[in-house]
Amino acid sequence: MTLEIAALSNHGAWAVALIIGLVAALAVAGLLVVLVRAVADIGHSVAGLLDVAGKVAANAANIPQLEATAPVLGLIVEEAVVQDGYMNALTDGYSSGNGGR
């Protein structure tokens, strides 16, 4: 009896093969849809990165100008010390207790 259940007719074997083929084709189609969506998402991300990369390159172009800032800051500090000395010399002898005199 078990041999009769396991034995398929020629049409039954073809039906099983077609069902297996249909399931495999649907699985491949589903995977292709997932792949196409992933590629589109990657393309969108790359477009955004290219936009940002252009902005970064524009900002990086100003770095040589920033290197010239350090010596100027040193001069500003030196001048601030000189001005502080002048202000101290002008306010010597003046206190807030005698009405500004």
User: When comparing pLDDT for 98 and 31, which is higher?
Assistant: 31
pTM metric for this prediction: 0.47
Distance in angstroms between the alpha carbons of the first and the last residue of the chain: 125
Q: Decide if pLDDT at 46 tops 50.
A: yes
Output the CA–CA distances (angstroms, integers) from residue 77 to 45, 66, 80, 91, in the order listed: 46, 17, 5, 21
Per-residue pLDDT tens over the stretch 11-26: 888 899 999 999 999 9
